């Protein structure tokens, strides 16, 4: 093994370690800050510390820390997938990266059109960030997607993009779109304001409800196991037999399937709202008129 090969392998190892270390840090921080308690506990994100601010204090919560962990993991995962491409090295993971790019590009073109083909990286980021934010609950970490503040931030960003593309034909055209028809103007305005709210609550509610149901079922099975097997001698009477298996199955559905499904739905709504609100034909006509004026 020559120097370049050893160096390439060393960089790969560093990337893999940097994907593991943030998750281990989050697990260690959770164990360190979680108080001992009896029974079940369903609560929001834990507040780690508070930064004093002029208007309102800034709370550093479990959601923010875990979101940062997710972003660091995704960063080094992307670096690992693409490591070596610029040097002409072609590995199996590079084929996997190519498949991801092609799938995201195809998804954007099919749902948004050719004009928005550059949105591929943005949609891929939404999918990856949302999915991994839900999946980290498999490591015992609080999922940021169970915090309405995190999802509301994503929804507001998407709403800004929706409004930006709706206003590309001018402020007057954007204002006229609410009066089509005139009698529906109040409902159209309410519907516009409700867009980020509905996106945020749909994603947040589905993820949070899954976590709550999993905890309640696990607690119920523990109580039922004590009733059914409590008469057994020794540790057998205390062992939660009924908790073995079913909570894991529920975790597969709520944490993996439902989490990934909600990520896909959020990305689809993002594409449909942005592309559906952009008057492409009107924009092209406006560009042609401007070009003609410049020539004259």
How does pLDDT run along the chain (296 residues), one tens digit per residue? 566 678 888 988 999 999 999 999 988 888 888 776 555 566 677 888 888 888 888 888 888 999 999 999 999 999 999 888 776 667 888 888 889 999 999 999 998 888 888 898 999 999 999 999 988 888 878 888 888 889 999 999 999 999 998 888 778 878 887 877 777 888 888 888 888 899 898 888 888 777 777 777 767 776 777 776 666 666 565 666 566 656 666 667 777 788 888 899 999 999 999 888 888 787 777 778 777 777 76
Domain-embedded: residue 49: no
Burial call 240-265: b when 16+ CB within 10 Å, e when fewer:
bebbeeebeebbeebbeebbbebbee
Domain-embedded: residue 105: no
Domain-embedded: residue 66: no
> Cβ distance 198 to 154 under 8 Å?
no
- Which tokens sit at 260? 């990934």
Domain-embedded: residue 199: yes
Total count of domains within the chain: 1
Cis peptide before 65 (omega within 30 of 0): no
- Provide the domain limits for residue 280: 146-296
Q: How far apart, in whole angstroms, are the C-alpha atoms of residue 233 and residue 95?
A: 57
Angle at 231 between CA 227 and CA 236, to 5 degrees: 95
Domain-embedded: residue 262: yes
Domain-embedded: residue 272: yes
- Which ranges of the chain would DSSP assign to H, the alpha helix? 3-33, 62-82, 92-112, 120-135, 148-166, 171-176, 185-229, 246-251, 258-277, 280-295
Domain-embedded: residue 113: no
């Amino acid at each position: 093994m020559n120097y370049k090969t050893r160096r390439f392998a060393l960089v790969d190892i560093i990337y893999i370690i940097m994907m593991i270390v943030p998750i281990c840090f989050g697990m260690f921080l959770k164990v360190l800050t979680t108080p001992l308690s009896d029974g079940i506990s369903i609560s929001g994100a834990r507040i780690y510390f508070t930064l004093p601010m002029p208007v309102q204090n800034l709370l550093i919560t479990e959601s923010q820390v875990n979101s940062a962990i997710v972003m660091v993991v995704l960063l080094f995962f992307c670096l690992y997938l693409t490591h070596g491409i610029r040097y002409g090295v072609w590995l199996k993971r590079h084929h996997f990266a190519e498949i991801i790019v092609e799938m995201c590009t195809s998804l954007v073109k099919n749902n948004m059109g050719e004009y928005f083909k550059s949105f591929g990286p943005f949609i891929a980021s939404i999918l990856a960030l949302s999915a991994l934010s839900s999946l980290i609950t498999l490591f015992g970490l609080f999922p940021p997607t169970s915090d309405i503040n995190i999802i509301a931030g994503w929804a507001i960003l998407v709403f800004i993009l929706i409004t930006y593309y709706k206003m590309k034909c001018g402020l007057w055209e954007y204002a006229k779109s609410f009066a089509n028809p005139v009698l529906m103007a109040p409902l159209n305005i309410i519907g516009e304001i409700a867009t980020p709210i509905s996106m945020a609550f749909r994603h947040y509610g589905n993820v949070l409800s899954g976590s709550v149901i999993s905890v309640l079922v696990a607690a119920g099975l523990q109580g039922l196991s004590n009733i059914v097997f409590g008469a057994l001698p020794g540790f057998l009477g205390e062992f939660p037999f009924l908790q073995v298996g079913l909570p894991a199955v529920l975790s597969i559905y709520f944490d993996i399937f439902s989490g990934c499904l909600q990520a896909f739905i959020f990305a689809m709504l993002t594409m449909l709202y942005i592309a559906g609100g952009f008057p492409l034909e009107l924009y092209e006509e406006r560009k042609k008129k401007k070009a003609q004026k410049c020539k004259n």
